[in-house]
Amino acid sequence: MFVATVSNHDGMNVTDFPALNALLNATATVLICLGFLFIRNGQKTAHRACMIAALLTSCLFLVGYVGHKILRAQGGGELHTQFGGEGAIRTVYLVMLASHVVLAMVIVPLVLVTFRLALRGEFERHRRWARWTFPLWLYVSVTGVLVYLFLYRWFPATA
């Protein structure tokens, strides 16, 4: 069973999830940017491939994020990682985190509608929706990586 595997010291551990999730967010960021560049250059097939890959990568991230929370809860750990920074940097982090969380909830339906319009061949409507979806999805992906860096690399909480 998967739960037994993640608790094994020889294999993947629940503490590996944040870095993996940050990698998935970074990958989605690159794919979203490439997709934008491809459509700007009229390369529709490459655009489509990048955007589908970005959607799948973001879905994998979501599974990893929820899985990490479930595994932490099952292990008796805290659901949320504490931020170790203080002062102005704490304010910067909390503002970024709040905007990330709110927009992460908003972006899901925006992405789904934008994809649905493209799949239906409603490209003019797709383009109008994408003008909002693209920058917000990019922001959520980039700030997802930044949240990881702030929490686990730059300002980890000391126990």
Break the chain into its structural domains and give their ranges: 2-154
Q: pLDDT (tens digit, 0 to 9) for every residue of the chain, 159 residues total? A: 333 344 445 677 888 999 999 999 999 999 999 999 999 999 999 999 999 999 999 999 999 999 999 988 888 878 789 999 999 999 999 999 999 999 999 999 999 999 999 999 999 999 999 999 999 999 999 999 999 999 999 999 986
Tell me the CATH number of domain 2-154, given options 1.20.120, 1.20.1630, 1.25.40, 1.10.150: 1.20.120
Residue 132: CB partners within 8 Å, gap ≥ 6?
Answer: 110
Report d(CA 157, CA 159) in Å as an integer. 6
Range 74-93 burial, b when 16+ CB lie within 10 A, else e: eeeeeeebebbbeeeeeeeb
Distance of CA 33 to the CA centre of its chain: 14
Q: Which one, of 19, 14, 11, 26, lies nearest residue 143 by Cα?
A: 26
Q: Which amino acid is at 98?
A: A
Residue 77 structure tokens: 């750990």
Q: What pLDDT score was predicted for residue 14? A: 86
Q: What's the pTM?
A: 0.89
Q: Which one, of 3, 144, 149, lies nearest residue 72 by Cα?
A: 3
DSSP class of 14: G
Q: What pLDDT score was predicted for residue 78? A: 81
Q: What pLDDT score was predicted for residue 7? A: 46
Q: What pLDDT score was predicted for residue 115? A: 97
Residue 43 structure tokens: 């390369």
